[in-house]
Every structure is written in C-alpha cells, then in structure tokens.
Chains A and B, each alone.
Chain A
C-alpha cells in the first residue's frame, strides 16, 4: 500500500526539541523528493523543508532556518525532521509529502500528519 505515516509529535516547552519521523511504503522512496509541510491551527499550509532523493538538494523556510534539520534514510524508507529551539509559532500539524519525479513541487502523496504543540 502506497502511504506515508508520520510520528513523533507531542507537547514540548518553548526552547525544547523534537524529532519527527515519516515512514514510507509502497514505492521506491529514494526516487522521490520529500517535504515537510505544516499547518498551524485554523491556518493555511507552509512548506517547511524539502530534500531530494539523493540528499544533494535541501531547502528550508526562512522561519525555521538554523533551527530545523531535514534528513532521510533511503535504506529504511524514512524521512526525519529534527526541530530545535522550538517556539510557540511552530505549533502546527506537520505533514510529510512526496514530490513527483521531475516535478518535485507537485505533492501527490501526503501523510495523515502529526501534531506539534509548543507551550509552557
């Protein structure tokens, strides 16, 4: 079954850290760009970070640059997001999403999301 399953969300205090994971199945994970996209409660969608299949292209939103690190393990079909120095404004549902080959900006598969709440 072609799917993405996120995990690792939870409640964390401001300044804290959290590591999100996304496990892929049903497709050749290493062939695809992957993204983390977040949605604050009641708000729209924001691209947080992207990584190419070979890991040679990595992008971050300005809002998370220097605090978040994206990585992937193609042998384990897994995508990660290491989040440090968390702020209240990072509170959101975090989705992992797959980018189509040769058109990485088209996200054709999304996980169900994992909620990150940053609060004291």
Chain B
C-alpha cells in the first residue's frame, strides 16, 4: 500500500495567517492527490483534487501544489471557519490511502 505522511500533525495559527501543510507519498503518484477538510463531529469534505484543482464552492484562499511524491496545501489567510483537521489522500493506487491528518487549531 502507498503510505501518506502529513506534516505537521498539529498546527496552531492565528486569523489571517498563511498556513502550509505538507503531504508526502511513499512512491510517485503523479498528481493523484486530494485534500479533505473535516470539522469536529462532521463528515470530511473535498477541498482540492488532482493536486491543484479547487472543488466547486471552496474559497480561493485554499490552494494545492505538487507532483510525484511531495504535495502542499496552503491557506493564504486563515478564517475562523478554517480551523479543522485536514487529510490528504492518494487515488493513484488501490487501496486509496489517507494521511494521518493535520489538526489546525486557533493560537
């Protein structure tokens, strides 16, 4: 199975901060990398797919980059509703696998 490793595991930031979360795959996955946001007690929601494409309705302060094995999710200016846990997921190999999550907390 392809292993996905996110860093950091948790992060404290303030409203208006620029935040970057990284995700590394254990083998090359081209751009088959997706990002999800999960708020406490809720189901995950798709943010970005294909490494860089914003899902419809997702604010433009979210962006994704990367290819091969290294990927990033960036939030350009944190808003109160962005405090959540973020997961990367590869859809290159079967089974699809997720990173362990990055919990974004208010400083």
Q: Residues on A close to B: CB < 8 A?
A: 44-47, 59, 61, 95, 100, 103-108, 110-113
Contacting residues, chain B, for A45 (C-beta < 8 A): 36, 44, 87, 89, 98, 101
The A/B interface has a contact count, at CB < 8 Å, of 53
Q: Residues on B close to A: CB < 8 A?
A: 32, 34, 36, 42-46, 49-50, 55, 87, 89-92, 94-101
CA separation between A103 and B91, bound complex, in Å? 8
> Does A44 lie within 8 Å of B87, measured CB to CB?
yes
Q: Which applies to chain B's interface (DSSP): helix, strand, loop or mixed? A: loop
Q: Which applies to chain A's interface (DSSP): helix, strand, loop or mixed? A: strand
Quick one: given A46-B98, A47-B97, are A105 and B91 in contact (CB under 8 Å)?
A: yes
**Smallest distance from the beta carbon of A26 to chain B beta carbons, Å?**
15
Nearest residue in A to B45 (C-beta to C-beta)? A110
Contacting residues, chain A, for B99 (C-beta < 8 A): 44
Quick one: given A44-B87, A44-B101, are A107 and B95 in contact (CB under 8 Å)?
A: no
> Does A108 lie within 8 Å of B43, measured CB to CB?
no
The 7 closest A-B pairs by CB, nearest first: A105-B91, A110-B43, A45-B98, A106-B49, A108-B46, A47-B96, A105-B96
CA separation between A106 and B48, bound complex, in Å? 9
Nearest residue in A to B85 (C-beta to C-beta)? A44
**Smallest distance from the beta carbon of B3 to chain A beta carbons, Å?**
12
